[in-house]
């Protein structure tokens, strides 16, 4: 049921000033006729938990969590959805009926909707390379496997984190028929991939996280957007790949979070095309 009371929401992360989440949630709210105040909150590892608890103590209704706190947020919530538990990472939090912190992860469904609905990409039988093994990678890896790819290769700077993610995926996706492999960044050049997904935060330094091999006409998708995705997308385009940033995923994961909080699913296509036009000018 849609309410007239102005509720408070926020996105918590570091860095945070670039975040488009306030604009997206305010646009959805206008579209469905609810009143929201949605802020950006910058915090640091030492006081992330205090920031989170304080927001809800002061009457906040829901938060999104962004880098680098999704895995810490998972440890702080008292209960969560199955998809957040499988990911071991949380990007959406609200209070349950008992007033306890309840976590969800909408990154995986957001990416799948952008790939399949907006970009018309079919994951079935594809060789997928996932670069990164942080909170975002954990959120999307299970959803990618649900698309039944031929293989999922996870390449990360810290090798143990990629290996741990593979073990985690194998433990909850027992009937999955895809090959799952994890290791260092050298895996990115081991074969030509159909789809390469960059879930590393290296774009914030202005670089692509690694060289990678992608088939001509394949898809290279960067979870980040705007200037932070530039180096990765330029490299992909130079290899003849279709290069796409994470704006569509950002909007789709936000729509799913909006649904968790307000019980109504906003229309996303119009917002995506208007934001694409605005960011390309
Ligand atoms: P995170 O938990 O901090 O993880 C960062 C990842 O990047 C780790 O795998 C890390 O490797 C890797 N990395 C960092 N610096 C690197 C470097 N110099 N070279 C190679 N790898 C490096 O962050 P996150 O929450 O997963 O977010 C990752 C990215 O996804 C961010 O750009 C975020 O904005 C984006 N994102 C977008 C959406 C969307 O809706 N479009 C949603 C979620 C996230 P180590 O393990 O070795 O440290």
- What pTM, to 2 d.p., does this model score? 0.95
Q: Which atom of ligand 1 is nearest to the CA of 133?
A: 9
Does residue 217 carry a pLDDT above 80?
Answer: yes
Does residue 2 carry a pLDDT above 60?
Answer: no
Q: Do residues 107 and 84 touch, judged by C-beta distance below 8 A?
A: no
Per-residue pLDDT tens over the stretch 28-44: 999 999 999 999 999 99
Pocket of ligand 1 (CB under 6 A): 67-68, 70, 107, 110, 132-137, 156-158, 161, 199-203, 209, 223-224, 246, 249-250, 253
Per-residue pLDDT tens over the stretch 90-110: 999 999 999 999 999 999 999
Average pLDDT, stretch 243-255? Answer: 98
């Amino acid at each position: 049921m849609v309410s007239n009371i102005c509720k408070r929401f926020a996105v918590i992360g570091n860095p945070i000033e670039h975040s488009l989440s306030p604009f997206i949630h305010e646009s959805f709210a206008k579209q469905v006729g609810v009143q929201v105040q949605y802020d950006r909150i910058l915090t640091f590892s030492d006081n992330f938990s205090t920031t989170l608890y304080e927001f809800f103590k002061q009457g906040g209704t829901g938060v999104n969590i962004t880098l680098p706190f999704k895995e810490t947020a998972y440890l702080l919530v008292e209960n969560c959805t199955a998809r957040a538990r499988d990911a071991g990472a949380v990007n959406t939090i609200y209070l349950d009926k008992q007033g306890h912190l309840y976590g969800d992860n909408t990154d995986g469904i957001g990416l799948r909707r952008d790939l399949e609905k907006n970009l018309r990409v079919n994951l079935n039988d594809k060789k997928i390379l996932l670069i990164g093994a942080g909170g975002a990678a954990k959120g999307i890896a299970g959803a990618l496997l649900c698309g039944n790819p031929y293989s999922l290769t996870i390449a990360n700077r810290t090798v143990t984190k990629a290996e741990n993610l593979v073990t985690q995926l194998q433990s909850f996706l027992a009937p999955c028929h895809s090959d799952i492999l994890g290791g260092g960044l050298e895996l990115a050049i081991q074969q030509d991939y159909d789809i390469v997904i960059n879930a590393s935060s290296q774009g914030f330094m202005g670089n692509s996280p690694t060289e990678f091999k992608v088939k001509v006409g394949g898809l290279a998708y960067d979870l980040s957007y705007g200037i932070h995705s530039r180096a990765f997308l330029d490299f992909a385009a130079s290899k003849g790949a279709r290069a796409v940033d994470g704006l569509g995923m950002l909007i789709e994961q936000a729509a799913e979070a909006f649904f968790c909080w307000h019980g109504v699913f906003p229309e996303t296509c119009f917002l995506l095309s208007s934001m694409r036009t605005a960011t390309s000018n």
